[in-house]
């Protein structure tokens, strides 16, 4: 036998248990557990007690939530009963102390409301004055802008005309320089023609006449340009003086607008600050009214609770008494059910 060859595994060693056998074993185990559970009464009782306790705990929680809700509803009915009794001016010995406190709080609310109306009226007056000042400011600025507009338009027109004059002056000077150079060149040609011995006597006069005629045209053009340049310069100086004068007028209007804006800016900012302060005072007064009304809520609840116990007052309160009785029955039923779940 060759020692290098691996030993052959015995037949069936690589095979595992079949799946169906595993399922059979699992079913047998479950049947044994069920059989033991059915035979053991104490185990069944403990499991049943555990499940029953969980159900009772969940039921108790739901009942406690309902009970809390009904008690809140009862407190709300007491507050409504107290408010109705206070508005109907119900007087009873049992609620004299609470009514005295409510009367004091209501007087305090009246004072705060009076203050609130005064502050509100002041805010309205300041708002109207602010709007009137703003309207006046805009009217003054618009008036100055309207008076300034023709001068601005004239400045724009003068600036455009000055630009045209400068362009024409630059073009005239540039053309005069070019024509002067051409004239010098033509005059040099004429002198060269007159002194050139190689030209035929018959050609010289004709060429010389043409050259002199061209030189004369250039001279006339140069003279025209030289005469035009001072006129353009004068026009430019006149436009500069007029433009400075009109721009001065525009500056006067700009300064007037700036003064108006500064004056009204200070006024409007001061007025706006004052309005904000009064608005804060109004908000503080509103908050005080809300706070006092919040203090009245437990007093209304106490009045309703006391009246519910005494069952006094006009027939208008009977409907609320009836609703409270319904809530009391619901609360008693819930409390009884909770006692049974202990």
Joined together, the tokens standing for residue 245 give 């004068």
pLDDT for the residue 317: 87
Residue 57 has pLDDT above 70, yes or no: yes
CATH of the domain spanning 109-295, picked from 1.10.287.1490, 3.90.1150.10, 2.40.50.140, 1.10.150.530: 1.10.287.1490
pLDDT for the residue 7: 44
pLDDT band at 75 (very low <50, low <70, confident <90, very high): very high
d(CA 180, CA 192): 18
Any alpha helices (H) in the chain, and if so which ranges?
19-39, 41-87, 96-195, 203-310, 318-340
pLDDT for the residue 42: 64
Least confident window among 45-54, 153-162, 256-265, 316-325: 45-54
| Domain layout of the chain by residue ranges | 109-295
Q: Residue length, the chain? A: 342
DSSP 5: S
User: For 280-338, what is each residue's pLDDT tens digit?
Assistant: 999 999 999 999 999 999 999 999 999 988 888 788 888 998 999 999 999 999 988 88
Joined together, the tokens standing for residue 73 give 């509803």
Q: Are 238 and 162 in contact (CB under 8 A)?
A: no
This prediction has a pTM of 0.57
User: For 202-259, what is each residue's pLDDT tens digit?
Assistant: 566 677 677 777 878 878 877 887 788 888 888 889 888 999 999 999 999 999 999 9
Least confident window among 87-91, 116-120, 296-300: 87-91
Query: What is the residue whose two structure tokens read 């004429």?
Result: 190
Q: Closest by alpha carbon to 278, among 113, 110, 127?
A: 127
> CA 82, 84, 86, 91 torsion: positive or negative?
negative
Least confident window among 54-68, 113-127, 183-197: 183-197
> CA 312, 314, 318, 324 torsion: positive or negative?
negative
pLDDT for the residue 4: 44
d(CA 119, CA 125): 10
Q: Are 308 and 324 in contact (CB under 8 A)?
A: yes
DSSP 7: P
């Amino acid at each position: 036998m060759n020692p290098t060859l691996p030993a052959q595994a015995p037949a069936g060693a690589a095979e595992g248990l079949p799946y169906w056998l595993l399922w059979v074993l699992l079913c047998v185990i479950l049947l044994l557990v069920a059989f033991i559970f059915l035979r053991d009464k104490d185990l069944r009782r403990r499991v049943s007690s555990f499940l029953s306790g969980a159900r009772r705990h969940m039921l108790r929680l739901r009942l406690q939530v309902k009970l809390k809700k009904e008690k809140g509803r009862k407190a709300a009915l007491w507050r409504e009963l107290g408010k109705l009794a206070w508005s109907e001016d119900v007087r009873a010995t049992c609620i004299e102390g609470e009514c005295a406190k409510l009367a004091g709080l209501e007087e305090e609310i009246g004072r705060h409301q009076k203050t609130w109306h005064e502050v509100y009226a002041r805010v309205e007056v300041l708002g109207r004055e602010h709007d009137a000042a703003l309207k006046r400011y805009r009217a003054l600025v618009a008036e100055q802008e309207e008076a300034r507009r023709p001068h601005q338009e004239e400045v724009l027109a003068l600036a455009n005309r000055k630009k045209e004059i400068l362009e024409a002056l630059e073009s005239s000077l540039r053309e005069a320089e070019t024509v002067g150079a051409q004239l010098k060149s033509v005059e040099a040609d004429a002198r060269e023609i007159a002194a050139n011995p190689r030209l035929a006597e018959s050609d010289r006069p004709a060429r010389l006449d043409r050259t002199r005629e061209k030189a004369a045209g250039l001279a006339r053009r140069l003279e025209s340009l030289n005469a035009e340049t001072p006129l353009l310069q004068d026009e430019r100086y006149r436009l500069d003086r007029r433009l400075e004068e009109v721009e001065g007028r525009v500056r006067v209007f700009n300064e007037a607008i700036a003064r108006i804006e500064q004056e009204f800016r200070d006024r409007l900012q001061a007025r706006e600050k004052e309005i904000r302060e009064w608005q804060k005072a109004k908000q503080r007064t509103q908050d005080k009214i809300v706070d006092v009304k919040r203090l009245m809520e437990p007093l209304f609840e106490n009045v309703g609770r006391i009246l519910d116990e005494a069952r006094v007052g006009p027939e208008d309160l009977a409907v609320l008494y009836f609703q409270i009785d319904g809530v009391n029955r619901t609360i008693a039923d819930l409390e009884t059910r909770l006692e049974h779940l202990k």
